[in-house]
Structure 1
Amino acid sequence: MKQVSLLVLFITLWGCKQDYTYQNKIKDDVAFLADDKLEGRETGTKGEQEAAAYIVKRFKEIGLSPKGTEDFYQTFSFKPKTNPHEDVTFVTMAEDSTVTGTNVLGYIDNQAESTIIIGAHYDHLGYGSEGSLYRGKTKEIHNGADDNASGVAVMLDLAGRLKNKNTANNYLFMAFSGEEMGLLGSNYFTKNATLDLGTANYMINMDMVGRLKQDGTLAVYGVGTSPRFKQTLTSSNNNFKLIENESGVGPSDHTSFYLQDIPVLHFFTGQHEDYHKPGDDAEKLNYEGMNLISDYILEVITELDDNGKLAFRKTKNESEETPRFKVGMGVIPDYLFDGEGMRIDGISEDKPAQKAGLQKGDVVVKLGDSLVTDMMSYMKALSSFSKGDTTTVVVKRHGENVNKQIQF
């Protein structure tokens, strides 16, 4: 009888430990996270909590172990900013005036000496909180399919693909809260880490990877933060037109890890007209492109698998050189454009560019007396104007120069 009981117990345990069979659920994951039912996943809301629970369910399905402070969760409370120039204050206990965000952490323990951190923020703007570019009169849900259900979906896909693969490192998968409010979740984690950050090998961040353009342009930031990155990114690339940026500092969660002297890579497919607006919905994403990005990141991780712990290198903080503006044109720049000039990827309604007759696809080559050769020269030219100023803007449209008068 004892032998039969042991056999039953063994069969039960064996059934529980069966290996996870990988399935690509990128489209399903986006569909859930970008559904109206979650009401835009704003930090601290019921919708964000439902998104966090879904991510935990997916982590468990894949077979990840919890790595939060409470199972898979790491909560943090803070007092929202009343002054846009002040820092958010974290508090030890939630109070009436505080907001509580939730990071979600899952772990693959390969008994390795170092850990690769793979993350993406899952919060968004709810019904259009601070940061929304929507100017409609009624409140609308900002579903954030590209920003950043896309990054979370690719992160979950990589978790499934890395189970029992590339075992020279452990893997910490993180869905960050509070990114839209100022990288709060990643900032909090790096100061209250649930593992020794000294063992962190490098960090991969995915923020807005859902709208790969037809020309295959993919931006990768942080390539200068380790000497190994550039060669690996090139040798692993078969599908993309890469736009590389060396700096480890940028407007997403990788910055929090770079500031802890951890090499970082941030993947990004570019801004668009639906950025921070209600139109950022699931049906507009390029799912084939997201699959290719997941393939590419896996290839990069695989190529680095036997390289040990990567060396860290500090980079120039390009954000410190960014000019300050008193006016704006009301355009969405194409940050992935690598030609001469500044390509317009979208036009805001009732703004100077629209009133001047500029169009999506125009490439600004001169603003006032200043030649525009790239994004930085465009920003420097724009920073010289004040409200009420009028000047000439020259754009290249269908191969020809077009002159327009613009008033700020």
Structure 2
Amino acid sequence: MRRERPIYTPKTGVERWFDTRMPLPRMVYDSFIVYPVPRNLNYAYSFGGILTVMLVSQILTGVVLAMHFAPDTGLAFISVEKIMRDVNSGWLLRYLHSNGASFFFIAVYIHIGRGLYYGSFKSPRELLWVLGCMNFLLMMATAFMGYVLPWGQMSFWGATVITNFFTAIPVVGDWIQQLLLGGFSVNNPTLNRFFALHYLLPFMLTGVVALHIWALHVVGQNNPIGIDVKLPTDVVDFTPHATVKDALGIVVFLLVLAYFVFYMPNFLGHPDNYTVADPLKTPAHIVPEWYFLPFYAILRAITFSVGPIDSKLGGVLAMFAAIAVLFFAPWLDTTKVRSAVYRPLYRLFFTLFVANGLFLGWLGSRPAEGTYIVLSQLATLYYFAFFIVIMPLLGLIEKPRRLPNSITEAVLAKSNAVEKSS
């Protein structure tokens, strides 16, 4: 039983005029004022709003930086230095954009983890989840293109190594590589292509984010206990209850970002990228940005051939499969209970999955040799096993804890427990 929502009523002549021609105030009122949200949402649910703020910030700073950037191999590195030194507040824009990319990924990884933990991908939110995975894929493509633009040593060699892996794809691999590079090596056409795509993809991402938010408003917000709204008291208005909580989460997140921007702006970057690209000097250890390291470790973990699939193609397939498997999570998880709060076994395996993801990130930063390769293979095995083996089997063998009858009952039970303990 859902609570009856107030109906928007224009109060002034201007509002009535707009409402009859373009009901934007009505849409804002219905979607962001009286829109019902579960009353037990915690701060983990603030990362949707945080991601929206970060997307806007990245687009705004990126557009201004593009006005001063020169997508030419002879000028790109110098133009970045000019932005830092000669453009008014250019250093701030550049550090906001570069560190913002890292914090964008921090927020999206937490957002994905929250979805997996609380079962936000399960029916009826499958399409919502798939759209979110599409956002993640577009983010990764945008970030990779942007990483090449400063034209430092790691930018150049990272682009060389990653685009070279496309040649492992049978029949079309060489064509894909040449299409990306604009030739047979990383050069001026490559930089121009990557600059154009890096500028374009965020606007495509904005469109998919809009669809993601639309889908969310159609099926409704999930909640930490993972049960549907049953009572009028299970929900509260989006404003002020959710907006105040989201605002606090956004402020805290931006304060941490500001600390990095003002006090340690280069901490998340690679030192080699502060040297101009030199095709004749290969860095000792080529690595991507930190947020790609888990997938880079999976790429390098495949050192063996399976039938006609050699190690190079196997690594490329494994890396893309690591992203693709996320799309199928709604159908791989067979349990009817959404939230890990009531699934002790799943909570254990999920904790190991998070630790394994962090471990893969560390392995991606290590040389591809000796024990590191073996550990990468074991960590990769668990990554895929979590989705393909553990999630389907747990739905058959796990005995979840008893679910509360309603969100209100869970909230009141928690409140009573806190009162008794105090």
Shared topology, TM-score over 0.5? no
Structure with bigger helix share is 2
Q: TM-score, normalised by structure 2?
A: 0.25
Q: TM-score, normalised by structure 1?
A: 0.26
Structure with bigger strand share is 1
